């Protein structure tokens, strides 16, 4: 009898097709026989504000070559849902009819800085019980071109036009480390100096704790910053809400984080979704600080209130318990921030993204 396999042990399905224009680096264009300099074509693709009719501003010969030889693979903006807090959820349509969601979050009205919350897969294999995406199961990986394409179309639709003002977080639909090859290819492209030139400090990949992926990413270059979604302080509780914990428990996760080769000034982020009467006791706060150990002094701990949604019966936490939880963590020396949820009124907040057809 064969052992039961976890859904994340197998690669997610892939979409096949021609080479994708948005997934190529400058040298790739020349290797594929482009009738022009690869750096020029690359920089025009990654300057979406200057596109003409949805295509990069290049000579006719290059445009014809792009159309014939490559898949331009840009997602289509199907819907935009503006939240009262200034953020916007965009529903994007992919070439095969799948849909993903992206959230555009300006920091403040007069400040052009924007954070984009990106998707890495259609659905997700990890099955976290507090997350609407997890209830979909995994449909397929996004290709590198689709990951890059979602950024380009959202920047073109909503800005900002200054690459230095863009922060990217892989915290939307999917487990990015279950799609590491495409995600890393996209990170290389985002980081490229002839493109958006986004520093790796402003690109964060958030994982539910897929330890082999953490250990692989640790040695990849360029390397984005890492966030870990922890959400429980005992293996029993964590395995109940995050099945991945049955494969890699809290001790194994701590070991993987310990081995992460921190660069100068690099900080890890721990995320903890506070769920009513599940993980928000003072004992949880104490165990969380203990699990963090030395990390509590110099790394980030973000607390996020559970955002209730139809796919989960988990409750939002009471404010008095949130306050007490934070107080206990501070007493224990943690550098803790309670994150304000953005886009709750348009179902765009943390844990609420899901395919709605």
Residues taking part in catalysis: 101, 350
Binding piece for ligand SF4, criterion CB under 6 A, among 5-13, 14-22, 129-137, 295-303: 129-137
56 binds ligand SF4 (CB under 6 A): no
Number of residues that bind ligand SF4 (CB under 6 A): 11
Per the omega criterion (within 30 degrees of 0), is the bond before 205 cis?
Answer: no
Q: Which is nearer to ligand SF4, 44 or 352 (CB)?
A: 352
Q: What are the distances in angstroms from CA 142 to CA 18, 157, 176?
A: 15, 21, 10
Q: What are the distances in angstroms from CA 238 to CA 119, 193, 230, 284, 347?
A: 23, 40, 8, 12, 25
Work out how close the CB of 241 gets to ligand SF4 at its nearest, in angstroms, rounded to a whole number. Answer: 9
Query: Is 232 within 8 Å of 191 (Cβ atoms)?
Result: no
Instruction: Give the sign of the dihedral formed by CA 200, CA 146, CA 144, CA 246.
Output: positive
Which string of x and - marks every residue 35-54 that binds ligand SF4 (by CB under 6 A)?
A: --------------------
Q: Which is nearer to ligand SF4, 191 or 231 (CB)?
A: 231
Using CB atoms, what's the residue nearest to ligand SF4? Answer: 134
Work out how close the CB of 225 gets to ligand SF4 at its nearest, in angstroms, rounded to a whole number. Answer: 17
Query: Is 70 within 8 Å of 144 (Cβ atoms)?
Result: no
Residue 348 neighbours by CB under 8 Å, 6+ apart: 81, 83, 87, 88, 89, 101, 103, 342
Work out how close the CB of 304 gets to ligand SF4 at its nearest, in angstroms, rounded to a whole number. Answer: 11
191 binds ligand SF4 (CB under 6 A): no
Please select the residue that binds ligand SF4; options are 131, 147, 214, 228, rule is CB under 6 A. 131
Please select the residue that binds ligand SF4; options are 114, 124, 214, 346, rule is CB under 6 A. 124
Considering only residues 195 to 214 of the shown chain, the ones binding ligand SF4 according to CB under 6 A are: 208
Q: Compute CA 119 distance to the chain's CA centroid, rounded to the nearest angstrom.
A: 6
141 binds ligand SF4 (CB under 6 A): no
| Closest among 191, 184, 192, 189 to 218, alpha carbons compared | 184
CA–CA gap between residue 100 and residue 123 (Å, rounded): 8
| Closest among 261, 257, 352, 259 to 300, alpha carbons compared | 257
133 binds ligand SF4 (CB under 6 A): yes
CA–CA gap between residue 259 and residue 253 (Å, rounded): 10
174 binds ligand SF4 (CB under 6 A): yes
Q: Which is nearer to ligand SF4, 44 or 208 (CB)?
A: 208
CA–CA gap between residue 70 and residue 74 (Å, rounded): 12
Checking DSSP bridges between strand 166-170 and strand 203-207, what pairing results, if any?
parallel
Work out how close the CB of 58 gets to ligand SF4 at its nearest, in angstroms, rounded to a whole number. Answer: 36
Work out how close the CB of 249 gets to ligand SF4 at its nearest, in angstroms, rounded to a whole number. Answer: 16
Q: Which is nearer to ligand SF4, 115 or 208 (CB)?
A: 208
Work out how close the CB of 208 gets to ligand SF4 at its nearest, in angstroms, rounded to a whole number. Answer: 4
Query: Is 207 within 8 Å of 229 (Cβ atoms)?
Result: yes
233 binds ligand SF4 (CB under 6 A): no
Work out how close the CB of 128 gets to ligand SF4 at its nearest, in angstroms, rounded to a whole number. Answer: 3
Query: Is 127 within 8 Å of 243 (Cβ atoms)?
Result: yes
Q: Which is nearer to ligand SF4, 70 or 257 (CB)?
A: 257
134 binds ligand SF4 (CB under 6 A): yes
> What is the binding site for ligand SF4 (CB under 6 A)?
124, 126-128, 131, 133-134, 173-175, 208
């Amino acid at each position: 009898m064969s052992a039961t396999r976890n859904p994340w042990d197998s690669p997610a399905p892939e979409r096949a097709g021609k080479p994708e224009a948005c997934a190529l680096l400058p040298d790739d264009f020349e290797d594929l026989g482009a009738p022009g300099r690869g750096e020029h074509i690359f920089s025009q693709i990654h300057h979406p504000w200057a596109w003409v009719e949805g295509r990069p501003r290049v000579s006719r010969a290059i445009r014809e070559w792009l159309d014939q030889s490559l898949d331009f693979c840009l997602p289509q903006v199907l819907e935009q849902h503006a939240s009262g807090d200034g953020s916007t959820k965009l529903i994007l349509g992919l070439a095969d009819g799948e849909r993903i969601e992206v959230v555009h979050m300006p920091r403040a009205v007069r400040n052009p800085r924007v954070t984009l919350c990106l998707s890495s897969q259609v659905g997700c294999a990890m099955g976290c019980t507090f997350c609407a995406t997890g209830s979909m199961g995994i449909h397929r990986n996004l290709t590198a071109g689709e990951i890059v394409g979602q950024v380009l179309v959202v920047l073109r639709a909503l800005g900002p036009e200054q690459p230095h003002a863009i922060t990217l977080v892989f915290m939307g639909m999917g487990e990015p480390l279950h799609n590491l090859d495409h995600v890393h290819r996209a990170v290389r492209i985002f980081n490229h100096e002839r493109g958006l030139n986004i520093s790796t400090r402003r690109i964060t990949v958030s994982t539910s704790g897929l330890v082999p992926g953490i250990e692989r990413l640790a040695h990849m270059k360029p390397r984005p910053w890492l966030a870990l979604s922890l959400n429980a302080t005992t293996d029993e509780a964590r395995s109940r809400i995050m099945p991945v914990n049955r494969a890699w428990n809290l001790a194994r996760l701590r070991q993987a984080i310990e081995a992460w080769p921190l660069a100068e000034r690099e900080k890890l982020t721990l995320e903890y979704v506070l769920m009513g009467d599940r993980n928000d006791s003072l004992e949880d706060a104490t165990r969380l600080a203990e699990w963090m150990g030395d990390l509590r002094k110099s790394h980030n701990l973000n607390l996020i209130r559970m955002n209730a949604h139809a796919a989960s019966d988990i409750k939002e936490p009471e404010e008095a318990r949130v306050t007490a939880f934070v107080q206990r963590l501070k007493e224990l020396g943690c550098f803790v921030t309670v994150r304000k949820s953005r886009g709750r009124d348009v179902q765009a907040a943390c844990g609420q993204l899901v395919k709605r057809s």
